[in-house]
Amino acid sequence: MNKPTLSPPGQEDAHRREPASRYTGVWISLAAVLLIGLAVVVLLPKFVAEPPAVDASPNAVIPAGSDAQSVANELMQAYLQLHARLLLENAPQWGKPYWGQAEEHAVQGSGMFAQHKFTASANHYAAAIEILQELEGGRESRISDALAIAYEALERNEVISAIEHFEQVLAIEPDNEAARYGLTRSHTRIAVLDNMAIGEQAEARSDLRAAQEAYQEAMLLDPNYEPPALAFQRVTDTMESGVFQNRMSRALISLNAGNFGRAEQSLAEAAAIRPNDPAVQDLQQRLTAARTQSAMTRFRKQAASLTRVENWKGAINVYNKVLAEDPAASFALTGLEKAEARLAVNQQFDHYLKQPERLFAAEPLANAETLLQNVPAAPPEEPKLANKVARLQKLVDGANTPVSVTLTSDGETEVSIYHIGPIGSFTEQQLELLPGKYTVVGSRYGYRDVLKELQVIPGAGKKAFSILCEDPI
């Protein structure tokens, strides 16, 4: 019966040329190839079992007394089973060049078998089996090596090579997670590199916003790929640095222009970018100092203005504000002392000017006279105080000037004035009285006493006053 043979996966050696006399052997080999192909298709499910233990040495010697044809046939069957199993496991894809070498030996073994050269056939099949066994046994190392090569290629952005080696691993082991992950990253890397190129071009033309967006897109595509993150951070830092410098410049310009509100706003924006930058802290100190100095200047002018109009209370309030900010402010200390003293003097004058009748009493009048002695004249820069001095002096003079008072009565009534004494009875009496309030009492036998208040006003001229008892008891 005919023996099944395998068809070679490769082409015949180009340099090998068979003479015309051997074409018959070639045709026999080709026929065997077809039979082998048919056997693989029809018998493949039967061949996936473990191959029998066979001496697979390429230099196998047919044991003495053995049937060489039988041994060659057994080795062929063992090869077919091993070949079929590895074929199902995609060995042609990942087993290069070993797969081709094994198939070449199988083709040679098939040809020798067809020519009844069974010992040579057995040796070729044994060699093919050994190669496939080595291929099968080195599966794990192939996976490991291919993964290593693939990830190294991916690290160097050699995407095509990485994809090939990841696919090689998946051909050996379709469920290999590392290879699946690496293959996904490899395909993604193409888009990542495109975005990186876009970002670099944008960065080169100083379009930092576009560069940032491109790098961010690349970073989102593969978060584990470091270059996009580094590029994104570099551009972001550059942008932040530009914004920071811009805000610091605006803050400085506003500070120099005395626009402290705008300077504070710009400085806050800069601090939000680099809160710990020494330049921010330095400019903040300068801004604070400038604000304080400006406030002091404003307070000084305000106090001077209030002093010029003799608003001592207002000046005192301003000086107290200054000292609350800077207790050692010399102009405020000096100004406060003067303002308090001038306020006290003015309040003393106001005490009498608001109620001039106080001067009609001896003690207040004496105190007013003492005040005038202590402040005989106001400084030229204090016209309001000068006016008060003059007004009080006039009041004091008036209080010390007697007023002529004419008293009239009925000649029967006895008249007396408290704190002056009895005047007696009369029809008309002339008296010189100092300004003030006087209590005048009239008494007459058989009549009710009369008590009247006499108010003598300075500068009013002669005053007439009548007192008599007219109500009989």
**DSSP structural state of residue 473:** -
* CA–CA distance, 384 with 387 (Å, rounded to integer): 5
Residue 63 pLDDT greater than 60, yes or no: no
Considering only residues 335 and 42, tell me which one the structure prediction assigns the higher pLDDT.
Answer: 335
Q: Pull the structure tokens for residue 164.
A: 């090939």
Q: Which residues contact 276 (CB under 8 A, 6 or more apart)?
A: none
More confident: 46 or 126: 126
With a pLDDT cut of 70, the percent of the chain lying above it is 86
Between CA 410 and CA 420, with CA 415 as vertex, the angle to 5 degrees is 150
**Does residue 36 register a pLDDT over 50?**
no
The answer to whether residues 118 and 71 touch, using CB atoms and an 8 Å cutoff, is yes
Confidence of residue 193 (pLDDT cuts 50, 70, 90): very high
User: In whole angstroms, what is the distance from residue 473 CA to residue 468 CA?
Assistant: 14
Residue 23 pLDDT more than 80? Answer: no
Whole-number pLDDT of residue 46: 35
Mean pLDDT in residue range 419-434: 93
pLDDT for the residue numbered 472:
93
> Average pLDDT, whole number, for the chain?
83
Q: What is the pLDDT of residues 327-346, one digit of tens each?
A: 999 999 999 999 999 999 99
pLDDT band at 311 (very low <50, low <70, confident <90, very high): very high
What phi-psi label fits residue 424: left (phi over 0), alpha (psi between -120 and 50 degrees) or beta? left
pLDDT attached to residue 459: 79
pLDDT of 41 > 90? The answer is: no
Complete domains list, the chain, with CATH: 1-137 (no CATH), 139-275 (no CATH), 310-399 (no CATH), 403-466 (2.60.40.1120)
Tokens of 456: 């003598």
The DSSP output letter for 279 is H
**If pLDDT is split at 50, 70 and 90, which confidence band does 205 have?**
confident
Taking only the tens place, the pLDDT of each residue in 130-170 is 888 877 766 778 888 889 999 999 989 999 999 989 988 88
Q: What angle do CA 286, 287, 289 make, to 5 degrees?
A: 65
In this predicted structure, which of 42-51, 252-261, 380-389, 448-457 has the lowest mean pLDDT?
42-51
d(CA 136, CA 9): 18
**With bands split at pLDDT 50, 70 and 90, how would you rate the model's confidence at 7?**
very low
